[in-house]
Structure 1
């Protein structure tokens, strides 16, 4: 009697494709910014080793630079894979070009040459061969001690094989003791302050401030956030009037209201707003990258980075604290920068 080979499971014919897609899923899952503690120096002060990659000639900014670029793994081959023990060939369809280019990563280093521990917020731009921006990634590197070097990596999320370079485009750094709280954490004070990314329209700028009670006790504020305007060296900026209310700036935020006593139970939040115009006439435009904020007199400061482009107007409006429309989950809201 003539015997025929036993039928093989259908899954065997698709196994290479399944593996290829699984590898791609792992690449996509890894996209995003580097964790705050990723790549930092060890307890003995020895810098962590950099991943292998192509060196990058990036002059950097403020002690931060990109040092190398690592392309994504090559996509699986689409050629047939015959097996001598099988009467048929296994073929995996090629992955889409976009997915094949995902996973390009840049290695960076942060060197703190200052006298105090700093928290850095860095924007790294991935570029193509013509120098055009393909993707921007923001990285926060916390608590870099004086004289220390911290290293880490960040991945591009632009799913394209055209990423050929990377550079540092923006750096802000604040004393670690005044940095906005990390996502999902609550400071010892029980109060978390942050700023949003702001809105701009026809020269009008508005940035929101948020005060979260992430602690276990009620917290009361009455009046306006206390502000200090700081330049790029975090020195006080002179010649700018801080106005109580936004009426002199715009009517878009509604009529000015007198401040009221606001008591926040645990999990509740209050908001305020900074408003200005970037009109430029005669004189030298004033830019304020940093604003030191206190919820009230005697409260600890938090330095946010709204980058106020005040033009030559010489004034900034601030609205009073008012209770937010919905509660903030304790320990969970993103403070912004």
Structure 2
């Protein structure tokens, strides 16, 4: 399978300053008439949809009376983008909402996960909030807002774009919601890290109506920010190829999951840095078995200079 043709965009930390005590803001609105809006969810709000208003100002609509705030200095401009995401200014000064836009510059429909950081008046990071925007079509822009309701901090004065991740919507993980057409859910957990050793677990559930057969190991491919395969990474079978005692070892036996049953497999790596250039690969494309539809997860691989990524065999959940 050829890699996705995705065009990387420049990454920069962006800010929106001069926001006071903030009240709750409205939800996101898709920009562009005639489009079916993308879906959006915040942390703890997986079913939220685009639409609504921020105070008296609808997100995404022009406002002559409430212009965007000027950037605090020449190095931070609200017109700049971080991987397709930019801050656009307060949605409404009375409501105290910070506006943002997500633009899909690529040629496939993408699901974005955007982490925003809330800054205090002194410049420190007070809190974070995450927004998931699913189904953003090529060439489309989705507009939204953030406000006090998105954070436990009461004294934040600005918003930074901390991290942007995007995966093809057709390959997005499905930890919940309706069962995918494949009849399986595949996703990764947040993992565990200790003394430079990383372990992230892939989870697979047969949510369909027929048995699902697995054979040994999943096939995996690490991808960079540009969604292209990262060269030079050795894919090894069994966690012991990297470290002992990770739980990602054992015989690779054929496995059949009845409807409702689950399995798991471990990704194991070290972030040791010696001579050479460290390798980072935020994404991993996963094929649960031969012929399966791929799913792209985001384990944030920091492989250091080891050049090794191990995967354990599928094991039935007990």
**Which TM-score applies when normalising by structure 2?**
0.75
CA deviation vs aligned residue, 1:226-268 (integer Å, no higher than 9, x gap): 1011111111111111110011211122483111222112221
Q: Which has the higher strand share?
A: 2
Find the aligned partners of 1:309 and 1:184 in 2 and give their Cα distance. Answer: 30
Q: Does 1:144 align with 2:136?
A: yes
Kindly tell me: are residues 169 and 210 of structure 1, through their superposed partners in 2, closer, same or farther at Cα, counting changes over 3 Å?
same
CA deviation vs aligned residue, 1:134-174 (integer Å, no higher than 9, x gap): 11111111111111111123344433431111121100111
- Pick aligned residue for 1:252 from 240, 245, 260: 245
Find the aligned partners of 2:280 and 2:152 in 1 and give their Cα distance. Answer: 35
- Pick aligned residue for 2:303 from 310, 325, 335: 310
Are 2:216 and 2:253, in contact at CA under 8 Å, matched by a contact in 1? yes
Q: Does 1:230 align with 2:226?
A: no
1:55 matched residue in structure 2: 68
Counting only pairs closer than 5 Å after superposition, residues 208-223 of structure 1 correspond to structure 2 as 208-223=201-216
Find the aligned partners of 1:199 and 1:105 in 2 and give their Cα distance. Answer: 35
Moved more, 311-320 or 260-269: 260-269
Kindly tell me: are residues 154 and 212 of structure 1, through their superposed partners in 2, closer, same or farther at Cα, counting changes over 3 Å?
farther
Aligned to 1:177, the other structure's residue is in SS state: helix
CA deviation vs aligned residue, 1:55-102 (integer Å, no higher than 9, x gap): 35433401101223468979xxxxxxxxxxxxxxxxxxxxxxxxxxxx
Which residues of structure 2 form unaligned runs of 5+?
A: 1-22, 38-50, 52-57, 72-77
1:165 matched residue in structure 2: 158
Which residues of structure 1 form unaligned runs of 5+?
A: 1-26, 75-103, 326-337
1:301 matched residue in structure 2: 294
Counting only pairs closer than 5 Å after superposition, residues 63-212 of structure 1 correspond to structure 2 as 63-69=84-90, 105-156=97-148, 157-181=150-174, 183-212=176-205
CA-based RMSD: 2.6
Are 1:280 and 1:312, in contact at CA under 8 Å, matched by a contact in 2? yes
Are 1:69 and 1:166, in contact at CA under 8 Å, matched by a contact in 2? no
Are 1:69 and 1:165, in contact at CA under 8 Å, matched by a contact in 2? no
Find the aligned partners of 1:254 and 1:112 in 2 and give their Cα distance. Answer: 39
Aligned to 2:86, the other structure's residue is in SS state: strand
Are 1:65 and 1:167, in contact at CA under 8 Å, matched by a contact in 2? no
**Which TM-score applies when normalising by structure 1?**
0.71
Find the aligned partners of 1:263 and 1:237 in 2 and give their Cα distance. Answer: 32
Are 1:109 and 1:151, in contact at CA under 8 Å, matched by a contact in 2? yes
Aligned to 2:106, the other structure's residue is in SS state: coil
